[in-house]
A and B are shown apart, each in its own frame.
Chain A
Amino acid sequence: MDNLYSLTANELLVLLDKRSVRPEDIIESVCSRAQSVDGKVKGYLSIDKEGALARAKALPASGKLRGIPVAIKDNICVEGELTTCASKILSGFRPPYNATVVEKLRSEGAVVLGRANMDEFAFGSSCENSAYFPTLNPWDTSRIPGGSSGGSAAVVAADEAVMALGSDTGGSIRQPAALCGVVGMKPTYGRVSRYGLIAFASSLDQIGPLTKDVRDSALLLGAIAGYDEKDSTSVNIPVPDYLSCLTGDVKGMRIGIPKEYFVDGMDKEVDAAVKEAVALLKSKGAQVSEISLPHTEYAVAVYYILATAEASSNLARFDGVQFGRRCEDPQNILDMYERTRGEGFGAEAKRRIILGTYVLSSGYYDAYYLKAQKVRALIKDDFDKVFKAGLDCILTPTSPTPAFKVGERSSDPLSMYLSDIFTISVNLAGVPAISVPCGFTKSGLPIGMQLIGDFFREGKILRAAHAYECYTDWHKRSPKL
């Protein structure tokens, strides 16, 4: 078969099971696809075909993902392999350990195929902040793929990867998934171990799947979820069988539509596509009601205080002492610190380190950080209230606009930050959410909608998202490359 690269993991597993294909065939197919299209998309920082083929020959006897190649975002540590967060400051860094998700993938028989590009240290919503090169949207290569997991979303959309892992701190999985027309999930905070994920904002980060459809999302989530004694913030709750949650219908599901998410300035086509999806789900038996999440408007502000504060501290370890890049010929220790970091970090990283340091510095903590923490609690309360009232999920647009042009927002950080307006609250609250394709603009750009669930109720949003896929075929479309 020569179109193996275009199949989903679940489809490939059936073929593997029947022994009509070998894991090596899939790797070959995906790699040759990448070879022919990645010059346009630039989703990968590196592909390790030889390593993947070698691993494919020594797979465990069984596993949920046995023989499936997976692309990994460049901020997830793979032992002995370059892991740089798409930053110059980590150039040459080879971690002497695996992230827990990588261990889990390997024990389930998955093969790490390559490293996906990203915004440096996951700082960005366009993948333009990679220190190496920007990734482009497979649907229109004059546009950004979203970010920060732009590489992961683009390679899945372009059939250069069967599935991919990304990380989501404020929308970094869901927004690029929406902009690239794939499925992206941010699990509940604590559902997936963060051990080995190079931290951006520790209280918000989660690793999650980017896949071609919801069934694959359920499959990949099931493989990486679970308590990890190496991560004190992971939660010890049994992992359900997510595939069995996919009933194919939404009958009786209670879905809330928050009025705060349909704002002025939102793209008309996005607005229309999402409303159409709501109507469809209603027609299939979902109970739809308008709800209110009153503190939504503060989410972006809260996020940019808390996330940058944590980031400023998390990035302090990149100081040229133990790993990564050190500046040339430092005169003394202060000079080494300042130049190593000044030369090693890109513009957005510097901006966020400064902002985060500022809001924590003496005299500003109470006005910014403490206040933001309190509003964060209010935002979480908003979600708690509606879920306690019996809601199964919340439906919103994933991004206020489809993919924008390369360079369009890069000089205006605030407008870039506002592109995460619909995804950020979810990270602040800690709840899970999934983005699924729900239409296209007239010009052929994908539109995504977001389904948000209660804590550890990934099964419910997967069910609703999967049902929606059963009623539509948006997810089956592929970009022409």
Chain B
Amino acid sequence: MDYEPVIGLEVHVQVKTASKMFCGCTTEFGGPPNSHTCPVCLGFPGVLPVLNKKALLSAVRTALAVGCKISAEVKFHRKNYFYPDLPKGYQISQYDEPLSEDGKVDIDAGGRVKTIRVKRVHMEEDAGKLIHEEGENSSLVDFNRCGMPLLEIVSEPDINSPEEAYRYLTKLKLLLRYLDVSDCDMEKGSLRCDANISIRKKGDTGLGTKAEVKNMNSFKGVKSALEYEIERQVKCAETGERIVMETRLWDPDRCVTISMRSKEEAHDYRYFPEPDLVPFTLDTSVVESERKSLPELPEARKARFIGSLGLPEYDAEVLTQEKANADYFEACLKYYDKPKVIANWLMGEISAYMNSKNMAIEGLKMGPAALCGLLNEIDSGKISGKMAKDIVLRMCETGKDASAIISESGLSQISDASQLEKFADEAIAENVKTVEDFMKGKDSALMFLVGQVMKKTKGKANPAMVNEVLRKKLAAKK
């Protein structure tokens, strides 16, 4: 029997802000335990939340970017439950009237475009962190993370394979990084993902009993966890074992999902409207101004790179995978007008250099103007493409201009005919046999002579000019 998985993802991303969602504490990562806290994020008696405007606007931008309808009123609810990392005994979240609903994310599913519907994007505050003391009868609580602004992005169960889930997540990450809403670093916890997953017979349209899988802490982990869970559920189905509705934890070391004993009361969160926050209104003008200020999103940018800059699809895809890379590429166009040449360099030597140093383009010492300076030197014939590959590495290392490196290391190409004539004469004199071959009509013999001249000039000669000088000299011999 063939089964297909039905997967919905709940993604939590930490919104990039300077201060927390409801208080002025910093959102900086790290710091000694409880050093980024105050009575408000610690939920001390009598304190009150005040909403961070940027957190709300970032949520609006995200919702717009995935095509959600934005609610005219932003209402917060309290989600009530007890846990030591939740200082107030409730989380300020959104419930039946979220910030936004009904969006979509298009992914590439085996060569065709597949639409994953986004059910809702809403805001909530993060909880603190619990540290379980090994061998002790106690746990420690650090509230530094408590009150950080989060976005919850919930997909419809439109995902039908771990690969699609992976692509959906990477696409979301790309979008959020373009929007500068979040770093989406799963390892740092700025993107977290839970999955609702069930299986059904191929061709069925109903939904099976779902399990919720948590604790997937890397993009690859999501894929592996889903693969495992699908296999587990299929095995259950095949052996006639009942699949129960439950929460399962992904154990990345053992590569299995483990059942958490179900809690009968776990879902009685007693949501009710947060009385400390009067609903906020989102005027159309505010939403529209956010919409206008959205950056060009990766898909549109890729299309433009193909359409108006003439880049091959592959190049356009690669360059738009990081907003900073695409920005760098476009900055180069101001100084140099051959897009494909810039793309080649970025995807070739420069990308290799960054990979070797494990750095992002923001850390590159060579700016777009400097890179284009180099490309112009190649075009002017001052240096060869081969020389340029060495020079670019030194530019990346030092941040110096191409011209500075060329002049200080005497790398500049010999394009002076009178200088080259001397070497050409030597080459002709030293290679009588080859000259004879050429005279007999073996054109390729010339390439050998060119190579000799290049050798004598330690590669600095302009090959085209060498070619020309040699031809002239040999013609004179005839």
Contact = CB atoms under 8 A, between A and B. Distances in A.
B448 interface: no
- What does DSSP make chain A's interface, helix, strand, loop or mixed? loop
A309 B141 CA distance: 28
Instruction: For chain A, give the interface size range.
Output: 35 or more
Interface in B259-294: 267-268, 270-272, 275-278
Interface string B134-149: 0000010100000000
A196 B43 contact: no
Contact of A316 (B42, B80, B275): B80
Contacts of B277: 232-233
A93 interface: yes
B270 A99 contact: no
A357 B270 contact: yes
A377 to B, nearest CB: 13
Interface residues of B, number: 30
Nearest to A229: B50
Interface in A300-343: 309-310, 312-313, 315-319, 321-323, 333, 337
B80 A198 contact: no
Contact of A77 (B46, B49, B141, B268): B46
A339 to B, nearest CB: 13
Given A99-B46, A195-B46, A317-B45, A360 B272 contact: yes
A323 B87 CA distance: 10
- What does DSSP make chain B's interface, helix, strand, loop or mixed? loop
Nearest to A201: B275
A368 B377 CA distance: 78
A312 B88 CA distance: 11
A97 interface: yes
A199 B49 CA distance: 13
Residue from B48, B49, B84 with most neighbouring chain A CB atoms (10 Å)? B48
A231 interface: yes
Contact of A322 (B42, B47, B267, B276): B42
B295 interface: no
A230 B44 CA distance: 14
Contacts of A199: 45-46, 276
B302 interface: no
Contacts of A99: 46
A361 interface: yes
B48 A95 contact: no
Interface string B82-93: 101001111000
A202 B276 contact: yes
Contacts of A90: 45
Residue from B87, B141, B275 with most neighbouring chain A CB atoms (10 Å)? B275
Given A203-B275, A316-B90, A357-B270, A230 B84 contact: no
Given A232-B277, A232-B278, A360-B80, A321 B46 contact: no
B258 interface: no
A362 interface: yes
Interface string B1-13: 0000000000000
Contacts of B82: 316, 319, 337
Interface string B34-48: 000001001111111
Given A95-B46, A232-B278, A233-B278, A369 B272 contact: yes
Contact of B89 (A229, A231, A309, A313): A313
A197 interface: yes
Contacts of B43: 317, 322
B50 A313 contact: no
Nearest to B40: A230
B245 interface: no
Given A360-B80, A365-B272, A230 B278 contact: no
B89 A95 contact: no
B272 A317 contact: no
B51 interface: yes
Contacts of A360: 80, 270-272
Interface in B39-82: 39, 42-51, 78, 80, 82
Contacts of B48: 194-195, 230-233
B136 to A, nearest CB: 13
A392 to B, nearest CB: 27
B45 A198 contact: yes
A97 B44 contact: yes
A265 interface: no
Contact of B44 (A95, A194, A232, A310): A95
A275 B47 CA distance: 42
B276 A333 contact: no
A96 interface: yes
Interface of B: 39, 42-51, 78, 80, 82, 84, 87-90, 139, 141, 267-268, 270-272, 275-278
Interface of A: 75-77, 83, 85, 90, 93, 95-97, 99, 194-199, 201-203, 229-233, 309-310, 312-313, 315-319, 321-323, 333, 337, 357, 360-362, 365, 369
Given A75-B46, A96-B39, A232-B51, 20 more contacts: A77-B45, A95-B39, A95-B44, A97-B44, A194-B46, A202-B275, A230-B48, A232-B276, A310-B275, A313-B80, A313-B89, A313-B272, A316-B80, A316-B82, A317-B43, A323-B44, A357-B270, A360-B272, A365-B270, A369-B272
18 contacts: A77-B46, A97-B44, A194-B48, A197-B46, A199-B46, A201-B275, A203-B275, A229-B50, A230-B47, A232-B48, A232-B277, A316-B90, A317-B88, A317-B89, A319-B89, A321-B84, A322-B42, A362-B270
